[in-house]
Structure 1
Amino acid sequence: MPTIFITGCSSGFGLETAKLFLEKGWRVIATMRQPTPDILPVSDQLTILPLDVTDPQSVQSAFAQAGEIDVLVNNAGFGAAVPVELTEPETARQLFETNTLGTLATIQAVLPRFRERRSGTIINVTSSATLKPLPLIGVYRASKAAVNALTESLAIEVAPFGVRVHIVLPGRSPETSFGNNALPHLRGLDNADYKPMIEGMIAGFRDANGPVTHSVDVAEAVWRTATDPNAPLRIPAGEDAVQWMAEAGQV
């Protein structure tokens, strides 16, 4: 029975991905900072573990408890909606520590096993926002774009060892907690120059009309990536992400 290890399973993309792989008969290691067992179906194939990707001891403990795994999905992360000029240094550090360095930490934890076994798959969930410049999420975009760059180099490094590495790029999703988590970091509503831009962004977060990404889109993209040995390096997830990727000339 293949095993998948997923970070950030408390809601949204991670939660939906864990559910899908359970339905498909996989063994699922679902991790989250504060485990909430009742959000996932009761199953002998499910293990829920605490994991804070910014804490080295937490990372070490989670992978020790997980045992052998076949697929690592780096989904844990958060966003911040704030102009670059007004981004607090602590917010910038948190974004990179979670989104970028947290991803690096789990990769480094699992790669020795994959390399020794000459098999394994790493899937990094980033964002289609990295495909074109957008206002007010500059530092968030930078943290996710860094993961894209890391993944591209990593894919070349580990291919000789039989290890696959991929990027899943979701679009804007009204079903996730991204907007709610990003807004507490918001700065600039009291700034006459930035206020109109910020108010427009807040309205956009809450607008479910037009092409969007649903959590199931991301889960299905992860499933495709995990099960298709010929999957491309980059896979868009969601109608809007597909459009943006085509516009960027990456499809």
Structure 2
Amino acid sequence: MKTVLITGCSSGYGLETAHRFHAEGWSVAATMRTPQDGLLPASDRIRVLPLDVTDPDSIRWAIDAAGPVDALVNNAGIGIVGAFEATPMLHIRRLFETNTFGVLAMTQAVIPQFRSRRSGVIVNVTSSATLAPMPLAAVYTASKQAIQGFTGSLAHELAVFGIRVRLVEPGYAPSTRFAQNIPLPVDALVPEAYRAFAAPVFAGFATPAMVTRESDVAEAVWQAVNDVSDRLHFPAGADAVALARAACRAD
């Protein structure tokens, strides 16, 4: 039986991905900052583990508790929407600690066991904002673009050890709690000078032409883990797929 460790399983993409892998017969180490009962089915193939990806001790404990794993899915992340000018550096650093440094730390922690077995898969969940950056999301996009470059480089570095590294790029999912971990109201992040510009942007968020479902992301992660080719990018959701195709045409 194969085992996957997934970060950020309290809701959204991570929770749906945990359900998907369990349904496929995998053992699942579903991690989250504060474990919650009832999110996942009672099963001897599911372990819900506490994990804060910004805490080295928490990372070490969770990796040890999960035991040998065949795949790591770096899904935990937070969002922020607003004008860069008005975004406090404290919150920028907090976002990077989770979205960027948390991914690096988790990946570094799991590589030794993958390298010793000469197998394993690392999937980093980023965003379609890396395909077509959107306004009022400069900080979030920067944190995810860093992981895009990191993943592409790491894929070459670890291939010699039989370790596959993948990117899943979700589109826009209104149902996810995108910015809930940033304790600032949107009004504080959009000064008066930006209000006229921001209004149609937020209207577009409220009524998107295409959306990504949690199941789209779970499916893309499943494909990424099981794909044995050299493919790096796995856009998830109709909007992300359209953006990826447009980017290819532009190139």
TM range (shorter): over 0.9
Q: Secondary structure at the match of 2:68?
A: coil
Amino acid paired to 1:216: S
Matching residue of 2:133: 133
Distance in structure 1 (CA, Å) of the matches to 2:196 and 2:226: 45
Q: Gaps (5+ residues) in structure 1?
A: none
Matching residue of 2:108: 108
Residue 131 of structure 1 deviates from its aligned partner by: 1.2
Distance 1:144 1:120, change over 3 A: same
Matching residue of 1:27: 27
Q: Give the TM-score of the pair, scaled to structure 1.
A: 0.95
Q: Secondary structure at the match of 1:135?
A: coil
Distance 1:86 1:143, change over 3 A: same
Amino acid paired to 1:146: A
Matching residue of 1:223: 222
Q: Do 2:87 and 2:189's aligned partners in 1 also have CA atoms closer than 8 Å? A: no
Amino acid paired to 2:75: N
Please list the CA deviations of residues 51-93 of structure 1 after superposition, one character each: whole Å capped at 9, or x if unmatched. 0000111001000101000000000001111111111001110
Matching residue of 2:48: 48
Alignment of structure 1 residues 54-203 onto 2, 5 Å: 54-181=54-181, 184=184, 186=186, 187-189=188-190, 191-203=191-203
Q: Do 2:27 and 2:46's aligned partners in 1 also have CA atoms closer than 8 Å? A: yes
Q: Secondary structure at the match of 1:13?
A: helix
Distance in structure 1 (CA, Å) of the matches to 2:180 and 2:58: 26
Amino acid paired to 2:246: E
Amino acid paired to 2:101: L
Matching residue of 1:214: 213
Q: Secondary structure at the match of 2:193?
A: coil
Distance in structure 2 (CA, Å) of the matches to 1:188 and 1:51: 29
Q: Secondary structure at the match of 1:195?
A: helix
Q: Do 1:126 and 1:147's aligned partners in 2 also have CA atoms closer than 8 Å? A: yes
Distance 1:40 1:231, change over 3 A: farther
Q: Secondary structure at the match of 1:101?
A: helix
Distance in structure 2 (CA, Å) of the matches to 1:45 and 1:181: 29
Overall identity of the aligned pairs, in %: 51
Distance in structure 1 (CA, Å) of the matches to 2:45 and 2:160: 31
Distance in structure 2 (CA, Å) of the matches to 1:188 and 1:237: 28
Residue 188 of structure 1 deviates from its aligned partner by: 4.2
Q: Do 1:81 and 1:185's aligned partners in 2 also have CA atoms closer than 8 Å? A: no
Q: Do 1:91 and 1:185's aligned partners in 2 also have CA atoms closer than 8 Å? A: no
Q: Secondary structure at the match of 1:248?
A: helix
Distance in structure 2 (CA, Å) of the matches to 1:112 and 1:131: 31
Q: Secondary structure at the match of 1:47?
A: strand
Residue 180 of structure 1 deviates from its aligned partner by: 4.5
